[in-house]
């Protein structure tokens, strides 16, 4: 088989606090797609990690009386435990504090500076002295004060390096126009073009001198690299770009799929292709933008006290129930409302009623009628079987089509309609009446019933096996359990 490759990434998360269900959402989507691609024969590389630098982390660490590195180390340990408990199959976990990453960032910064894309200028910002933080006009509270401590801010200037985004505006517009699949869904792309590109791109501040927790600019050490050159470069530094061993980079770049939340599309849809263009590198094929998981009172946040942590759900309902809910109920293109009622409903109806029942009924019938052995079946067909087989024929191609368009919720819906169809098949064939010995029945009649019963059991097992394979990228434990119970 042709050696097809697939490189997929999640955003790298800020380790400012332990991760909640929103962070898990992106990672579970990426994990499901990575598993699907591996099962489909792709040589897949799945990257996730943490974005560890910056003023916010520096401040948090100070508040806790530890160094920034000590602070992030602890959260990264928790994050790795969390991904292990969610069975996330990443191939690499990158930290922006990895030495290899920092060196690549320095090389990229220098290269962009040497070729004239980065220049030294002056950053003007609104500064809160007690919080030691810069804010933009739009971030201020309703009284125009610091959004954290609500004290006065004042304008300050500091020397900073800037990247010439404006130079690439025309190129970016042309690129977005000629690559309609680059950003999905298209509505997000249009929004980005109207809100940020059309009004004109201003040059981007890419270094700071007002805090220290960052990658030093190699040729001007009082500066640290500010946010996006550091953060976005992870996707290529993780593969060894600009290092002695760039085998992975040569093999996997450009990324096939980068998954991001709607709050960071501007950075991935504007800065990222421009940086890559400036570095003369190919642009990723697709960036899928997902919406947020919201609560009844809006976005999840610590201050509102409405944050859901996955550990609680997994403990109570199990891993697969948690994953199933997020993938099935939270549509990618609109905000998904998390309510405990919805969660329990999905769990009870889809997983318990539909899938578990199908498995339990099938296994108990095979135990009862054939002492636990799937019967030999000679292929004699009847109309009910024919129709059932026909219904099953399109399931796999329909499922693949949806997965290839990254429509996970719809792909799951396809599987669940097949599960419903299989449950219906049990009612149609009514195996319990086929197994019943009726007085006065001829040998021929008995024989026909026996064949039908064998056929029904055979078809049920075949269908469950297919279902187990189809759900495998999402619900790995359940898939294993079905295969185990069927003795496959
Ligand atoms: N560090 C940056 C990304 C750099 S990528 C080069 C960042 N980190 S973050 O931790 O704040 O967010 C990471 C991702 O989590 C984003 O894609 C964001 O949309 C997602 N989510 C955070 N809260 C979320 C929800 N409540 N619901 C769904 N996703 C959410 O931004």
CA distance 419 to 463: 8
Vertex 277 angle, CA 272 and 278, to 5°: 100
Handedness of CA 196, 134, 119, 113 (dihedral sign): negative
- pLDDT score for 303: 72
- pLDDT score for 4: 95
- Cα 11 to averaged position of ligand 1 atoms, centre (Å): 7
Among the atoms of ligand 1, which is closest to the Cα of residue 234?
A: 6
- pLDDT score for 82: 96
If you count them, how many residues does the chain have? 488
Low-confidence ranges of the chain (pLDDT < 50): 1
Q: Ligand 1 pocket check: which of 55, 93, 104, 263 to mutate, most ligand atoms within 8 Å of Cβ? A: 263
Q: Which residues line ligand 1 (CB under 6 A)?
A: 11-14, 22-23, 25-26, 51, 231-232, 234, 260-261, 263-264, 292-293, 299-300
The helix or strand, by DSSP H or E, that contains position 119, with its residue range, turns out to be: strand 118-128
Name the residue among 421, 420, 403 with its Cα closest to residue 412.
Answer: 403
- Cα 422 to averaged position of ligand 1 atoms, centre (Å): 39
- Cα 282 to averaged position of ligand 1 atoms, centre (Å): 25
- pLDDT score for 299: 82
Which token pair is 153?
């801010």
Which token pair is 137?
């006009």
Question: 206: buried, middle or exposed (CB in 10 Å: 19+, 13-18, 0-12)?
Answer: buried
Among the atoms of ligand 1, which is closest to the Cα of residue 262?
A: 19
Give 68's contacts (C-beta < 8 A, 6+ positions apart): 52, 57, 58, 61, 213
CA distance 64 to 68: 10
- Cα 13 to averaged position of ligand 1 atoms, centre (Å): 6
- Cα 88 to averaged position of ligand 1 atoms, centre (Å): 17
User: pLDDT tens digit string along 423-444?
Assistant: 999 999 999 999 998 899 999 9
User: pLDDT tens digit string along 458-467?
Assistant: 999 999 999 9
Q: Mean pLDDT for the chain?
A: 93
Q: Which residue, by CA, sits nearest to atom 17 of ligand 1?
A: 261
Helices (H), 297-406: 310-317, 319-329, 340-346, 357-370, 383-404
Strands 298-299 and 257-261: unpaired
Name the residue among 134, 129, 132, 140 with its Cα closest to residue 160.
Answer: 134
Q: Which residue, by CA, sits nearest to atom 24 of ligand 1?
A: 22
Q: Tell me how crowded residue 119 is: count the other CB atoms within 10 A of its CB.
A: 12
CA distance 235 to 214: 18
- pLDDT score for 2: 56
For 202, which DSSP code? P
Among the atoms of ligand 1, which is closest to the Cα of residue 14?
A: 10
The position carrying tokens 């929004």 is 191
- Cα 101 to averaged position of ligand 1 atoms, centre (Å): 20
Name the residue among 85, 57, 79, 54 with its Cα closest to residue 70.
Answer: 57
- Cα 357 to averaged position of ligand 1 atoms, centre (Å): 37
Which token pair is 67?
């160094």
Cis peptide before 366 (omega within 30 of 0): no
């Amino acid at each position: 088989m042709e050696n097809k490759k697939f490189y997929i990434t999640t955003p790298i998360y800020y380790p400012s606090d332990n991760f909640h269900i929103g962070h898990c959402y992106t990672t579970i989507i990426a994990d499901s797609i990575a598993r699907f691609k591996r099962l489909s024969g792709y040589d897949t590389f799945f990257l996730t990690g943490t974005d560890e630098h910056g003023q916010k982390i520096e401040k948090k660490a100070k508040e806790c009386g530890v160094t920034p590195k000590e602070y992030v180390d602890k959260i990264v340990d928790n994050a790795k435990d969390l991904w292990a408990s969610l069975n996330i199959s990443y191939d690499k976990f990158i930290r922006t504090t990895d030495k290899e990453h920092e060196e690549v960032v320095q090389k990229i910064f220098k290269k962009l500076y040497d070729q004239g894309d980065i220049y030294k200028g002056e950053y003007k910002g609104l500064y809160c002295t007690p919080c030691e933080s810069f804010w933009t006009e739009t971030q201020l509270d309703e009284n125009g004060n610091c959004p954290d401590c609500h004290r006065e801010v004042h304008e300050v200037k500091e020397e900073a390096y800037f990247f010439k985004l404006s130079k690439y505006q025309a190129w970016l517009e042309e690129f977005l126009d000629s690559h309609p699949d680059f950003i999905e869904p298209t509505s997000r792309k249009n929004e980005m073009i109207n809100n940020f590109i059309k009004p004109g791109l201003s040059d981007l501040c890419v270094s700071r001198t007002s805090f220290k927790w960052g990658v030093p600019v190699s040729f001007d050490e009082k500066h640290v690299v500010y946010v996006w050159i550091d953060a976005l470069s992870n996707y290529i530094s993780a593969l060894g770009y600009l290092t002695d061993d760039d085998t992975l980079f040569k093999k996997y770049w450009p990324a096939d799929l980068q998954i991001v939340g709607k709050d960071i599309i501007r950075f991935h849809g504007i800065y990222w292709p421009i940086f890559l263009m400036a570095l003369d590198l190919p642009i990723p094929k697709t960036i899928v933008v997902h919406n947020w998981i919201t609560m009844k009172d809006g976005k999840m946040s610590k201050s509102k006290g409405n944050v859901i942590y996955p550990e609680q759900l997994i403990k109570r309902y199990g891993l697969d129930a948690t994953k199933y809910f997020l993938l099935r109920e939270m549509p990618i293109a609109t905000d998904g409302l998390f309510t405990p009622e919805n969660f329990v409903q999905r769990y009870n109806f889809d997983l318990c009623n539909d899938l578990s029942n199908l498995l339990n009924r099938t296994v108990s019938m095979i135990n009862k009628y054939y002492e636990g052995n799937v019967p030999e079946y000679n292929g004699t067909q009847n109309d009910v079987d024919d129709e059932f087989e026909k219904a099953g024929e399109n399931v796999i191609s329909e499922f693949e089509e949806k997965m290839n368009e990254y429509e996970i919720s719809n792909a799951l819906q396809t599987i669940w309609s097949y599960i419903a169809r299989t449950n219906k098949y049990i009612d149609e064939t009514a195996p319990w009446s086929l197994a019943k010995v009726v007085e006065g029945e001829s040998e021929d009649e008995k024989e026909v019933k026996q064949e039908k019963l064998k056929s029904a059991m055979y078809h049920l097992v075949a269908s469950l096996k297919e279902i187990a394979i189809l759900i495998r990228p999402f619900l790995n434990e359940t898939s294993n359990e079905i295969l185990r119970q069927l003795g496959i």
